[in-house]
A = this chain, B = another copy of it.
Amino acid sequence: MLDALSGIVDLERAASVSLYRQLYTQLRDAILNGHLPAGTRIPASRSMAVQLGVARNTVLAALEQLAAEGYLETRQGAGTVVSGQLRRGLMRAARREPDAPPPDYSLSRSADRMAMITRATPDGENPRAFMPGIPDLESFPRDLWARLLRRASHELEDSALAYGGTWGLPRLRAALSDHLREMRGVQADPEQIIVTSSAQGALDLLARAMLDPQDKVWVEDPGYLGARAAFSGTGATLVPVPVDKDGLNPAGNHPRPRLIYVTPSHQYPTGILMPLARRLELLECASRHGAFIIEDDYDSEFQFQGRPVAALQGLDASGRVLYIGTFSKILQPGIRVGYAVVPPALAEPLRSLQRNSGHIAPGVVQLALAKFIEEGHLRAHVRRTCALYEERQDALVSALEENFGTRMRVNRPAGGMQLVAELPPETDDVALARSYGERGIVARPLSQLTLGDHARSGLLMGYAGYPVKDIREAVAACRDIARI
């Protein structure tokens, strides 16, 4: 009988899998594969333990588990045998049949549209010049943050440990309400705020809430891929609306929108600040069409001269602006907390939608963020990093000028974390970005952020996350890599 196990059980002592689990799995597979047919007697645990050179308890545990799961049974007088309960045909279900057709792994149509816009960053890929959207990570106050997390973990109430207020800790929503009013001119009662797992989660939530298949959504062109991905997942039709010197231009013959997506503080990617007249035109246009506006205010806090221009949301008297903010840029993306501010009438249904879509941020991180804001650290951090980013933008602009003269033209943004360097019209920006990429320098081709047929050649370059020295070196390297 033990010999019967010799071709079946083969335990590896060095494996990370426990001997118990190995023995269990090998016996189970032998039963399922028919190598140990129904009625086969299983040796006594003691002799099996000796034979296999393992502790008897290990054998006992495996046999007990197999009996509990229905693979083995005890027969009077016959000891433990392979169960006769299972039909042979059934066991085939657990076997890999070499000639079985593989499952159809194609995604649903809507998931396929979303997944097509690939943005996943490889494991362990560290930020480097000129990845856009990366804040200065060195400045992030790790010690302070660690202390706040620790305090938050101690203080969190039971309701937050369970399923209470999945749409955001009351204390964080209160802190955000004050912060947004003071710093961004946003009108937001805490009840209007929904805290989400990442700003992309907020985008996804709002897109799904507002868009039916075939609805039209106006997107800035060039514009942000993350927003396009979220919108296309709903089956809505993306209408690229060209960005002029004032941002998205609503005048023009575009199909009637249900939703208009804008980044008025620093248009993504161009960095354009939308002036007041255009903001008013946009509100008027949304009213006229019965449309809603998503204002994605991702990095507006970084305004180099004066205070940041107030958000579009604060200008909106008709309740048509849905506002999105994030901690990814003012602190760090790894925090993965974003939020939406919605008109009061939408708060209740969106909470329910959020609970059921699972875009929920951990309470401990939310409470630490509330403390971070309440204790004034957020303002101090923004002040510090804003000065740094201005210096880095200066460095990038002058390095580009020194190395490329007029062949790279920069419309210098009034703030933010990245800029667009326009290339001579005939330049293949995709090929150029690829040749930079081969040397470890990241620059996103502008044409890939453009949907319409008016693509200009250019590069999106982030500067906020990189020291002046790195910026200079990377620009010099770019000059050496390819002649433009």
Residue of B70, B201, B319 near A358 (CB, 8 A) is B201
A362 to chain B, nearest CB (A): 5
- A23 beta carbon closer than 8 Å to chain B: no
Residue of B nearest to A191 (CB): B123
Complex interface bits, A344-360 against B, C-beta within 8 A gives 1, otherwise 0:
01100111111111111
CA distance A16 to B374 in the complex (A): 13
For A350, list chain B residues within 8 Å (CB).
115
Q: How does the 8 Å CB contact mask read for A275-290 relative to B, with 1 for contact and 0 for none?
A: 1110011011001001
Which B residues are CB-close (under 8 A) to A276? Answer: 69-71, 85-86
Residues on the B chain within 8 Å of A87, using CB: 277
Check A120/B204 contact, CB under 8 A, given A94-B283, A198-B360, A334-B364: no
Q: Are B158 and A70 in contact (CB under 8 A)?
A: no
CB atoms of B306 and A21 under 8 A apart: no
A203: chain B residues at CB < 8 Å are 358
Contact status of A126 and B353, CB under 8 A, knowing A358-B202, A362-B362? no
User: Cβ of A118: which chain B residues have Cβ within 8 Å of it?
Assistant: 352
* CB contact between A150 and one of B89, B149, B166, B335 (< 8 Å): that residue: B149
Complex Cα distance, B292 from A64, in Å, reads 31
Q: Mark A312-346 against chain B: 1 for CB-CB distance below 8 A, else 0.
A: 00111111100000000000111111100001011
A360 to B21, CA, bound (A): 32
For residue A170, CB closer than 8 A to chain B, the reply is yes
Is the CB–CB distance between B358 and A162 below 8 Å? no
Q: For residues 117 through 142 of chain A, which have their beta carbon under 8 Å from a beta carbon of chain B?
A: 117-127, 131, 133-134, 137, 140, 142
Q: Determine how close the nearest CB of chain B comes to the CB of A365; give it in whole angstroms.
A: 5
A430 at the interface (CB under 8 A from B): no
- The distance from the CB of A480 to the nearest CB of chain B, in whole angstroms, is 26
Instruction: Select the residue from A110, A137, A314 with max chain B CB neighbours within 10 A.
Output: A110
When the two chains form their complex, are residues B149 and A147 in contact, meaning their CB atoms are under 8 A apart? no
Q: How many angstroms between the C-alpha atoms of A112 and B350 in the bound complex?
A: 10
A398 contacts the other chain (Cβ, under 8 Å)? no
Q: Complex formed: what's the CA distance from A59 to B80 in Å?
A: 89
- Contacts A115-B353, A209-B107, A233-B208 hold; do A362 and B361 have CB atoms under 8 A apart? yes
- Contact (Cβ within 8 A) A356 B117: yes
| Smallest CB separation, A317 vs chain B (Å) | 4
A467 within 8 A of B: no
Q: Which of A16, A68, A226, A229 has the most CB atoms of chain B within a 10 A radius of its CB? A: A68
Tell me how far the C-beta of A463 lies from the nearest C-beta in chain B, rounded to whole angstroms. Answer: 15
The answer, yes or no, to whether A393 is at the interface (CB within 8 Å) is no
Which B-chain residue is minimally distant from A205 (CB atoms)? B358
Q: Are B140 and A307 in contact (CB under 8 A)?
A: no
Q: A111-B209, A153-B142, A280-B91 are in contact. Are A359 and B164 (CB under 8 A)?
A: no
A192 at the interface (CB under 8 A from B): no
Flag if A124 contacts B157 (CB, 8 Å). yes
Q: Which residues of B contact A178 (CB under 8 A)?
A: 16
Cβ-defined contact, A159 with B364, below 8 A? no
Q: Mark A88-99, 1 if CB is under 8 A from B, else 0.
A: 011111111100
Contact yes or no, B126 A157, CB < 8 A:
yes
Shortest Cβ distance from A225 into B: residue:
B356
Jot down 9 A-B pairs with beta carbons below 8 A, ordered by A: A25-B185, A91-B280, A93-B287, A108-B209, A114-B353, A117-B356, A124-B164, A204-B358, A359-B359
16 extra interface residue pairs, beta carbon distance < 8 Å, beyond A24-B185, A86-B277, A94-B317: A65-B306, A70-B275, A89-B284, A110-B234, A115-B356, A119-B355, A120-B166, A120-B354, A134-B163, A162-B334, A200-B356, A202-B358, A233-B356, A334-B363, A336-B362, A364-B365
